[in-house]
Amino acid sequence: MELCDECRGISPSDALTIAVIATRFIDLAQRQL
């Protein structure tokens, strides 16, 4: 899986944090529907 240009400068820990937040955001968004 290739990373986008914006993602290449992100450290693994930051990427993990973003992934967790994104997962929670998507979960909340699906509940709203």
Give dist(CA 26, CA 31) in Å, integer: 9
Task: Tell me: pLDDT of 25 over 90.
Answer: yes
How far from chain centre, in Å, is Cα 16?
7
Query: Residue 22 is inside which H or E element, if any?
Result: helix 12-32
How is residue 10 annotated by DSSP? S
- Please give the residue that has the higher pLDDT: either 1 or 20: 20
Convert the pLDDT of each residue in 2-21 to its tens digit. 656 666 677 778 888 999 99
Question: How is residue 6 written in tokens?
Answer: 């914006």
* Residues in Cβ contact with 7 at an 8 Å cutoff, skipping those fewer than 6 apart: 15
Look up the pTM and report it: 0.55
30 in Cβ contact with 22 (< 8 Å): no
